[in-house]
Structure 1
């Protein structure tokens, strides 16, 4: 579950991100995950199934009111499980959290220092004001998001200065971990069939760097008012030396640009002109 309005139950406690399995059979068998700000620290809370109802888990004020007291200190991750007396209990988990290892840009920004902004894709992508301009912030809210951020950051390093994607503005850090990045916010519209040649050119330039985009749907091309085509959303991009894979990706473009299902709209909404 994503796209939640961030809620505070007290001035120093805030649910930043949450993943709550709402659909059977996962609602009864899968853990729920919460990323919280407590004071000036970020804590990760895993709640085992069956302790709270989905309604409570999905509504942060109710959940925060019913959570057992959390330990003080510099811990990072804890699990809430049912104790021998049947009541919820908190157990600390001492393990290193996953992080992005590709770090190439000189700018590093504390993710907690950023304004809240508007979420455009679940817990992970938002538009916000930074340095007197609107930007895109992309983070790995949870461990399973790290690989896609790793891929994207590596691609932005490879295309830096090529004009293929939005300008990479720096890494986002949480404590001592890199978990995301900031991007320039472009203005434009999604590509359509009339933009085929420009989109082919952009993808071919990416292929020349031995990278396939992996998801060249029409919303991952932003067309500016002067017709310039820019690629976005490199979560599925991969290094590739195979001519066959490159040709296959290019061959899909006419159908991708004609699709009207809205598939892939997601992040690109932030770039679309009003």
Structure 2
């Protein structure tokens, strides 16, 4: 499965995100999030519409797309018509949004200049004259995870656990992500056990377990301060037993040498 997020332009159109199954392109739909002028539109390409070898490459795909109809539609399907040519059919779907909206700051997704790629959903962007980290739900099936993580940030706000939450990212009227401060540091190691334990216990005191306390999710600053990141797997939990189980994994997590949790280079900014 390719989750590459390339930015490739053809005239006034660019691919912002895509989800293409490169192993089964003839049976799986391909999803694209496009900027068309000043609007964001979502295109689903049905299997067999275009040669499978062009689907992962926006530079090759964009010239093949049929003319997109004007209007304020946000989602459409592209398929072969009865004459064998690709056609575009806008749908009336109302796209879901993150309902956990608690911060007063809302920033348009297209207003954030790109600085650095981190993962398909996470980038360093420029906001208010400084680099910050953006995280979005690119497609509707990613909204539940974004909803959960946004709720966790609300719970930990001001508790010295994670990076500062800077606002919601909107696309039109929909909230699709958030901005957090950019951190600089290194992954935690065995020598940071106490600092990692302290910050994880602060999270547990809020009745939340992290769910993935690998060494790369603890950022150690130059002064030794430890900050937790990546709350996608976090969940409410009042069980003392489960909290203690998570704490008990820390020595092994911090001694991990296989690279688990750090396969995607983050350069430790988050």
TM-score (norm 2): 0.96
Aligned twin of 2:110: 112
Deviation, structure 1 residue 272: 5.4
* Structure 2: 5+ residue stretches without partners: none
Are the aligned partners of 2:33 and 2:40 in contact in 1 as well (CA < 8 Å)? yes
Distance 1:96 1:242 in 2: 38
Local SS of the residue matching 2:114: coil
Distance 1:258 1:245 in 2: 21
Deviation, structure 1 residue 89: 1.4
Q: Deviations over 1:40-95 (max 9, x none)?
A: 11000000111112321111122111111111100010001121222211111111
Distance 1:171 1:250 in 2: 31
**Alignment partner of 1:20 is 2:17:** no
Are the aligned partners of 1:20 and 1:54 in contact in 2 as well (CA < 8 Å)? no
Are the aligned partners of 1:6 and 1:16 in contact in 2 as well (CA < 8 Å)? yes
Are the aligned partners of 2:213 and 2:253 in contact in 1 as well (CA < 8 Å)? yes
Aligned twin of 2:47: 49
Are the aligned partners of 2:115 and 2:131 in contact in 1 as well (CA < 8 Å)? no
**Alignment partner of 1:162 is 2:163:** no
Q: Deviations over 1:140-199 (max 9, x none)?
A: 111111111111111111111111100100000000000001110011100011111111
Count the aligned residue pairs. 269
Distance 1:3 1:35 in 2: 12
Deviates more, 1:40-49 or 1:253-262: 253-262
Structure with greater proportional helix content: 1
Q: 2:188 pairs with 183, 188, 191, which one?
A: 191
Are the aligned partners of 2:115 and 2:124 in contact in 1 as well (CA < 8 Å)? yes
Query: Which consecutive aligned stretches of 4+ in structure 1 deviate over 2 angstroms post-superposition?
Result: 2-5, 270-273
Local SS of the residue matching 2:25: helix
* Structure 1: 5+ residue stretches without partners: none
Distance 1:261 1:50 in 2: 40
Aligned twin of 2:33: 35
Are the aligned partners of 2:19 and 2:32 in contact in 1 as well (CA < 8 Å)? yes
TM-score (norm 1): 0.94
Alignment of 1:86-101 (within 5 A): 86-101=84-99
Local SS of the residue matching 2:266: helix
Deviation, structure 1 residue 267: 6.9
Are the aligned partners of 2:109 and 2:171 in contact in 1 as well (CA < 8 Å)? yes
Q: 1:146 pairs with 143, 147, 153, which one?
A: 143
**Alignment partner of 1:2 is 2:3:** yes
Are the aligned partners of 1:139 and 1:180 in contact in 2 as well (CA < 8 Å)? yes
Pairwise CA RMSD: 1.5
Deviation, structure 1 residue 213: 0.4
Deviation, structure 1 residue 260: 1.4
Distance 2:90 2:255 in 1: 51
